[in-house]
Amino acid sequence: MDGPARRARLGRAHLYLVTEALPAERLTAALAGGVDIVQLRDKDASDAEILAAAPRFREACDAHGALFFVNDRPDLALACGADGVHVGQEDAPVEEVRSRVGPDLLIGLSTHAPDQFAAGLATSADHLCAGPVWETPTKAGRAAAGLGYVRHAAAHAGTRPWFAIGGIDERNAAEVAAAWRKADRRGSRDSRRRGPRGRRPGASRGRHRGGTGWDSAVGSAAARRARAGTSSSSATGPARRPATTRPGRVSSRSRRASVQPP
């Protein structure tokens, strides 16, 4: 896919899986369960191990029409034939990454506070992550940003895809969805009060983009289940268990979801 096709696919994404180098059968089960984006994030793997895992990720994502991201490393993302790279605040700046990967590779950016979210919106990042909503072992030592940050992201993201990340699972995804809905309703009221020309910049109009998972944004099947008051689960293999025993990330965009399995 070229850049426009990838961004169109990102705009339709609901479930975002962040995972280590899963075996093919588990990866396929996750994709069959509704995952739209898979991020290969394995901090302990060598470059050779990431490159060895990439073909099965690429093949599985292609077979299910999903996007494939690699964490942190623009060079590895290109070498893996990925659709995108996800970077953090301590990694190279987005515009530097963009200059290295070109216009067609998608870039995701993690943010942890309102000023970082605002700065991210001013970059060419294709999606933002807001979190961690709750403390998570994948972000050891980082304080939770809380549900207030989810509400902030929902109110200010505009049309930019975004994901609420960190400690989100089927037990608390409904809380993340509720935080988004609250901000969305407030934004809609502000929009009606001020009129189409007086709308507060970035106010929600009911179409934020995001995901929910074990470090994901609210939306998709998981978010729909959360909004309905039922449990949210991610496609993590035949048992479809939430990620609780190994590092896992869920990020939530206003209408999307992303997960990381056990």
Helices 24-32 + 47-64 axis angle, to 10 = 40
Model confidence pLDDT, tens digit, residues 182-201 = 886 665 555 444 444 443 33
- Sites in the chain below the pLDDT cut of 50: 191-262
Q: Of the candidates 1, 10, 51, which has an alpha carbon nearest to the alpha carbon of residue 217?
A: 10
Domain spans, the chain:
3-259
- Rounded CA-CA distance 232/9 in Å is 23
- Rounded CA-CA distance 168/165 in Å is 7
Q: Could you write out the three-class secondary structure of the chain? A: CCHHHHHHHHHHCCEEEEECCCCHHHHHHHHHCCCCEEEECCCCCCHHHHHHHHHHHHHHHHHHCCEEEEECCHHHHHHCCCCEEEECCCCCCHHHHHHHHCCCCEEEEEECCHHHHHHHHCCCCCEEEECCCCCCHHHCCCCCCCHHHHHHHHHHCCCCEEEECCCCCCCCHHHHHHHHHHHHHHHHHHHHHHCCCCCCCCCCCCCCECCCCCEECCCHHHHHHHHCCCCCCCCCCCCCCCCCCCCCEEECCCCCEEECCC
CATH, domain range 3-259: 3.20.20.70
Which residues are marked as active site? 41, 110, 139
Q: Of the candidates 131, 133, 132, 109, which has an alpha carbon nearest to the alpha carbon of residue 121?
A: 109
Model confidence pLDDT, tens digit, residues 14-47 = 778 889 999 999 999 999 988 899 999 998 999 9
β-bridge mates for residue 161, sequence order = 209
For the beta carbon of residue 242, count every other beta carbon within 10 angstroms.
24
